[in-house]
A and B are shown apart, each in its own frame.
Chain A
């Protein structure tokens, strides 16, 4: 019996891929891992609960959203642009990492992660948050609540979240234009 497939084209981290014939019900995480060999997007639950698999969907209007790749149909993003953990750092022509993103650097500097299985999802989640704050700054005294509201869906079993959250708070407070008002 022939399984029904459809062509899928995507722009992943600025690189256009496809068309690739994929099963109708293929999830995005399967496409990334099994078809593209981009395994930094981590499988945690397959239900969209743990957010280990969060990727960034860049909408046509210039805004972005977090998407759980484990429950997002790959074909639902046909023709769309996404970012994954593999696309955040700057690399040279040989693929060597020459600079990390501000979010990655903050997590690294704060010893935020341990096993790191949840880290790619959090990097993407915080990146979306930072980009939102660039458009819509928040009062400094609301930063802690904003961080909690934005990241509470991300499950980490190793760290207890504190070093992640401290890194994000400091990054927001130290980045020009993300906050308004007085002290946090």
Chain B
């Protein structure tokens, strides 16, 4: 499985292949349709003010009133057509990996508490119930007679037909190790690493010249030998640096943490035996992956299914629910519900025990520096990570960590290798940052120390090495657009916290004797997207000017859905008033895909793309900071088609109406002169036109009144040409359907597919770029260290970020502040032992896992600055991940400034600080 995951269309196609009738109905819509109380809220565009501006998030009323928005909130009685009575289930998990598992022992339960259904691995085998993609997710239940491969491995499912017995039984078995029968000593099977990657680059004479060697320009059977040869060149340089160069080598460690989504993993599912229909409500960031896999899993079982109904919900995960195995346990539970809906919802201990974790990483990094100029000349880093019990996205996380370790710097030579190992730890997978948090933090801590050793101001050393526009990254790709990290450095260098840090240190420490004051800085740039980002958007307007938006984007709390409403304004002067998100089916486009955007050869892609309905992939899940840039692109391009072929010609018709060409005739009018001002279309001195008036004319004249577009990005946009009117329309989209005024029946979609004349997909070689879209972010922190307790008190912090043009500024600052808090947790508080003492033992909860609170994040004393966009069309950057990263290293560097001690292992816990200062 690749990171972009399954798509909606593929899900439906899979259903057809299985002979299953499949539907997907977002839960909000379903509940709204069944509840008069919520229907009014959905129907009314109350989130817009009278001027059409966003007043609050479109899901705001539901969320602020405690309505059922999460899967966790759903009970069978809420679901139209479901039985009122439901069952409840929980799992028993193993807590050791050194003995043979011989089964569960429920003898401590009295007769009244015996489960109505006990499910073990033998039952699954008998019934043909199996985990989809077990190489990715692992097995459903541990087989008797085997040694667990990981801590917290599920061994049995207990189903109860009523709540009182369920809760009593669960309470009795919770924390009781006797529930598992263990046999002789044993050890888990040794497994190969989940992923091994290496990126070697030999730059040209300057950062702007062609590379001698890099992933971007070399591939083929001889590449491994070439990699080894060029890596040796770098190793030789580092082993015996030329005169005037100095090599620094440091080791860093970053810990395992829990994303700690407050909504635990959960779901409710019902297998309706009468109709052989599986209904599934599940909390997931990748709804169509889950839907497709669950459907396939149920179909393959002995029970089988004829129909499948899936209900995606709002959720939260920070990656933890991106590709979790948990929904398949919910599916499994439904198959053993004896016709009852079954709720399988984890408590916090269970969530810690099984939900996806952030990878622990280790780095051994060498940087060669010209001691005269302060310029970096070479980078070598050997990285290792613990992927835990199942593969999940470990290989991809390793690759992304490696391609990010350069942070904001240019290196002429680099050799970056990474291995992600399998272990008995709880599975690590996708989490906000996706490996870059760990690698860039280590780089920022190391650069800070190098500056100190060389006697160069830490920001000044960064300035000398910052990657400027047009320079290449460690894969040999040129990043997109203007690189602005140097502006962040300039901004931070001028900030009073940095300029006055030594004076402030003296003043503070004089005022609070015994405490150590420090200021720390770090700056990173984080990619957004996956290299195979796709989206579909549709915008149409009616004859009265009402705008309707339909989009594939789903909501995970970030405000992505509300943002798309606002993006429409760029081209149409007002937001959409009627919206539909998580849209499943797009008959307008009739797209097909082999869903292998990373694996297609160039020849294959050239052949496939001759079919105008073919695209490399259909849609992307909510992940990888992808909504602001990639999802918005689709919205904006749909609106652009509407403007160019509907709004603008209609306006020209109005302006040109009258004898002799009307008011327009004496003027020179260009399309690019058009602007929306206060909801009115204006151009030079022409009469301002309301959207309603233009819309009416567009419909009357049969102009384009609706547009559906598909977009694809492989570190560059696919673009295509379409026959439109008497000419050709060229745009960064790869599929298009339009609706014309007058001819369209409002009750049907009424769209016409426009076959592309030709298409330019970014070359498949561009997969090697790793990343080209970056959002830079810098953090300055001031803190005080209590050497007696080892506690760090964050006094204030300031941040500078380039996020392009903000869509909804409140969402940007909200993501920013939330990411900073999560970074503070990683720097100072959060840490999970990986093995027997860790969360796999089922004894972890928020009483011993410290999440940052308001008092930990200097809630009243934090400031932020956003670089002004470079132009009105500067696109919004994906910032949901980068916001949490530099503050981690800034805190570490601040502690070093405060204490004079460098730290190489996170978090900077009181124990570590006390030990260092002892």
Q: Is the CB of B857 within 8 A of A42?
A: no
Q: Is the CB of B262 within 8 A of A104?
A: no
Q: Is the CB of A111 within 8 A of B810?
A: yes
The residues of A that contact B811 with a CB separation of less than 8 Å are 111
Q: Contacting chain B: which of A59-67, A113-121, A131-139, A174-182?
A: A113-121
- Which residue of chain A has its CB nearest to the CB of B855? A152
The residues of A that contact B817 with a CB separation of less than 8 Å are 159-163
- Which residue of chain B has its CB nearest to the CB of A49? B846
- Using known A-B contacts A3-B165, A162-B862, A163-B814, determine if residue A88 contacts B65 with beta carbons closer than 8 Å: yes
- Minimum C-beta distance from B343 to chain A (A): 9
Q: Is the CB of A3 within 8 A of B164?
A: yes
Is B820 close to A, CB under 8 A? yes
Q: Is the CB of B75 within 8 A of A155?
A: no
- Minimum C-beta distance from B63 to chain A (A): 4
**Cα distance A88–B64 in the bound complex, in angstroms:** 10
CB-CB contacts of A20-55 with B at 8 A, as 1s and 0s? 000101100010011001111111111101101000
The residues of A that contact B236 with a CB separation of less than 8 Å are none
The residues of B that contact A100 with a CB separation of less than 8 Å are 61, 64-65
Say which residue of B35, B65, B259, B855 sits within 8 Å of A86 (CB atoms).
Answer: B65
Q: Is the CB of A37 within 8 A of B77?
A: yes
Say which residue of A2, A23, A117, A163 sits within 8 Å of B112 (CB atoms).
Answer: A2
- Which residue of chain A has its CB nearest to the CB of B59? A116
Instruction: Count A-side interface residues using an 8 Å CB cutoff.
Output: 67
**Cα distance A36–B806 in the bound complex, in angstroms:** 43
Q: Is the CB of B64 within 8 A of A111?
A: no
- Minimum C-beta distance from A28 to chain B (A): 14
The residues of A that contact B111 with a CB separation of less than 8 Å are 1
Q: Is the CB of B847 within 8 A of A115?
A: no
- Which residue of chain B has its CB nearest to the CB of A116? B63
**Cα distance A160–B857 in the bound complex, in angstroms:** 7
Q: Is the CB of A151 within 8 A of B57?
A: no
Q: Is the CB of A108 within 8 A of B60?
A: yes
**Cα distance A84–B815 in the bound complex, in angstroms:** 28
Q: Is the CB of A23 within 8 A of B168?
A: yes
Q: Is the CB of A113 within 8 A of B63?
A: yes
Q: Is the CB of B859 within 8 A of A162?
A: yes
CB-CB contacts of B793-834 with A at 8 A, as 1s and 0s? 000000000000000101101111111111000000000000
- Minimum C-beta distance from A181 to chain B (A): 18
**Cα distance A91–B67 in the bound complex, in angstroms:** 13
Is B110 close to A, CB under 8 A? yes
Is B69 close to A, CB under 8 A? yes
Is B766 close to A, CB under 8 A? no
Q: Is the CB of A44 within 8 A of B66?
A: no
Is A15 close to B, CB under 8 A? no
- Using known A-B contacts A3-B164, A111-B814, determine if residue A47 contacts B855 with beta carbons closer than 8 Å: no
Q: Is the CB of A91 within 8 A of B262?
A: no
**Cα distance A35–B392 in the bound complex, in angstroms:** 38
Q: How many A-B residue pairs have CB under 8 A?
A: 206
- Minimum C-beta distance from A64 to chain B (A): 18
Q: Is the CB of A1 within 8 A of B64?
A: no
- Which residue of chain B has its CB nearest to the CB of A155? B851
Q: Is the CB of A163 within 8 A of B65?
A: no
Is B559 close to A, CB under 8 A? yes
Q: Is the CB of A39 within 8 A of B851?
A: no
**Cα distance A51–B66 in the bound complex, in angstroms:** 15
**Cα distance A121–B458 in the bound complex, in angstroms:** 43
- Minimum C-beta distance from A41 to chain B (A): 7
Say which residue of A49, A89, A120 sits within 8 Å of B847 (CB atoms).
Answer: A49
Is A17 close to B, CB under 8 A? no
Contacting residues of chain B (167-187) with chain A, CB-CB under 8 angstroms? 167-168, 171
- Minimum C-beta distance from A122 to chain B (A): 10
Interface centre among B810, B815, B818, by most chain A C-beta atoms within 10 angstroms, is: B818
Q: Is the CB of A117 within 8 A of B167?
A: no
Contacting residues of chain A (82-141) with chain B, CB-CB under 8 angstroms? 84-86, 88-89, 91, 94-97, 100, 104, 107-120, 123
- Minimum C-beta distance from B883 to chain A (A): 9
Say which residue of B36, B75, B261, B813 sits within 8 Å of A157 (CB atoms).
Answer: B261
- Which residue of chain A has its CB nearest to the CB of B56? A108
Q: Is the CB of A161 within 8 A of B859?
A: yes
The residues of A that contact B40 with a CB separation of less than 8 Å are 96
Q: Is the CB of A114 within 8 A of B859?
A: no
- Which residue of chain A has its CB nearest to the CB of B66? A40
CB-CB contacts of B13-55 with A at 8 A, as 1s and 0s? 0000000000000000000000111001100000000000001
Q: Is the CB of A30 within 8 A of B37?
A: no
The residues of A that contact B259 with a CB separation of less than 8 Å are 157
**Cα distance A86–B77 in the bound complex, in angstroms:** 18
Is B853 close to A, CB under 8 A? yes
- Minimum C-beta distance from B566 to chain A (A): 12
**Cα distance A95–B65 in the bound complex, in angstroms:** 12
- Using known A-B contacts A114-B558, A117-B262, A151-B854, determine if residue A37 contacts B814 with beta carbons closer than 8 Å: no
- Which residue of chain B has its CB nearest to the CB of A95? B37
Q: Is the CB of A144 within 8 A of B819?
A: no
- Which residue of chain A has its CB nearest to the CB of B165? A3
**Cα distance A60–B643 in the bound complex, in angstroms:** 63
- Which residue of chain A has its CB nearest to the CB of B67? A40
Say which residue of B56, B168, B347, B815 sits within 8 Å of A3 (CB atoms).
Answer: B168
The residues of B that contact A50 with a CB separation of less than 8 Å are 262, 846, 851
- Minimum C-beta distance from A120 to chain B (A): 5
The residues of B that contact A45 with a CB separation of less than 8 Å are 348, 845-847
The residues of B that contact A85 with a CB separation of less than 8 Å are 65-66
The residues of A that contact B612 with a CB separation of less than 8 Å are none
- Minimum C-beta distance from B761 to chain A (A): 35
- Minimum C-beta distance from A141 to chain B (A): 12
- Which residue of chain A has its CB nearest to the CB of B348? A45
Is B113 close to A, CB under 8 A? yes
Contacting residues of chain B (214-256) with chain A, CB-CB under 8 angstroms? none
- Using known A-B contacts A116-B63, A152-B854, determine if residue A157 contacts B167 with beta carbons closer than 8 Å: no
- Minimum C-beta distance from B432 to chain A (A): 10
The residues of B that contact A155 with a CB separation of less than 8 Å are 262, 846, 851, 853
- Minimum C-beta distance from A42 to chain B (A): 7
The residues of B that contact A110 with a CB separation of less than 8 Å are 810
Contacting residues of chain B (835-868) with chain A, CB-CB under 8 angstroms? 845-847, 851, 853-855, 857, 859-860, 862
- Which residue of chain B has its CB nearest to the CB of A106? B64
**Cα distance A160–B36 in the bound complex, in angstroms:** 35
**Cα distance A52–B264 in the bound complex, in angstroms:** 12
Say which residue of A23, A38, A95, A152 sits within 8 Å of B853 (CB atoms).
Answer: A152
- Using known A-B contacts A95-B37, A114-B818, A163-B810, determine if residue A46 contacts B348 with beta carbons closer than 8 Å: yes
**Cα distance A84–B69 in the bound complex, in angstroms:** 16
Q: Is the CB of A123 within 8 A of B821?
A: no
Q: Is the CB of A160 within 8 A of B164?
A: no
**Cα distance A23–B556 in the bound complex, in angstroms:** 36
- Minimum C-beta distance from A69 to chain B (A): 12
- Which residue of chain B has its CB nearest to the CB of A103? B64
- Which residue of chain A has its CB nearest to the CB of B820? A160
The residues of B that contact A159 with a CB separation of less than 8 Å are 814, 817-818, 821
Say which residue of B67, B75, B818 sits within 8 Å of A160 (CB atoms).
Answer: B818
Is B73 close to A, CB under 8 A? yes
| Additional pairs, 4, CB under 8 Å, beyond known A86-B65, A108-B56, A119-B66 | A40-B65, A153-B853, A155-B853, A163-B814
* 9 nearest A-B residue pairs (beta carbon): A40-B66, A85-B66, A115-B557, A160-B817, A115-B316, A116-B63, A160-B821, A95-B37, A111-B810
Name 29 interchain pairs, CB-CB below 8 A, sorted by A: A1-B112, A26-B167, A30-B163, A37-B78, A39-B68, A43-B347, A45-B348, A45-B847, A50-B262, A50-B846, A85-B66, A91-B37, A95-B35, A95-B37, A96-B41, A104-B65, A109-B56, A111-B56, A114-B814, A115-B262, A115-B557, A117-B316, A119-B64, A120-B66, A151-B854, A152-B853, A155-B851, A158-B814, A161-B853
| Contact surface of B with A, Cβ cutoff 8 Å | 35-37, 40-41, 55-57, 60-61, 63-70, 72-75, 77-78, 110-113, 163-165, 167-168, 171, 259-264, 314-316, 318, 347-349, 556-559, 808, 810-811, 813-822, 845-847, 851, 853-855, 857, 859-860, 862
